[in-house]
Amino acid sequence: MDALKDEVRAWLEHETYMQPVSDADDPYGEKQNYRISIQEGVIAPPEQPEPLQILYRTRRFGLPLWTGGYADQPHILLMELNACIDEEIAFHNLQVFNKERQDATQGPQGQSIDSIQ
């Protein structure tokens, strides 16, 4: 399941970095550099893991989980979905932490606290 969690995290990072953002939301240019690397073929975009696709489809359409091919082995599906949800939560928590940390280091009007003193 750790490999699946790594795949999910890579996909979530890819999904986040590919969204359009303003310069204020990407002060260090990480997202822009990532997009350029993908466009120039320096790195290949990750594939969306199949369990994550299943999770997204069931959420989008409100489908019951037991109508598909996993009905014979529901414990595997539940473990895969649990791994996807765990990584989504961890990724979201990391984004919130980074945003709070970034906000805490900026003074009025986006100035660094060091430049105010």
Interval 37-68: pLDDT, tens = 888 888 888 888 988 888 887 777 666 666 55
Query: Is residue 61 domain-resident?
Result: yes
What is the average per-residue pLDDT within 82-95?
91
Query: Long-range contacts for 6-10 (Cβ within 8 Å, ≥24 apart)?
Result: 7/46, 7/47, 7/49, 7/52, 8/49, 8/51, 8/52, 8/83, 8/84, 8/87, 8/88, 9/87, 9/90, 9/91, 10/46
pLDDT digits (tens, 9 = 90+) for 1-22: 888 899 988 988 888 888 877 7
Query: Is residue 113 domain-resident?
Result: no
Task: Output the pLDDT for position 75.
Answer: 74
What is the number of structural domains in the chain? 1
Query: Is residue 23 domain-resident?
Result: no
Question: Range of 74's domain?
Answer: 2-16+47-104
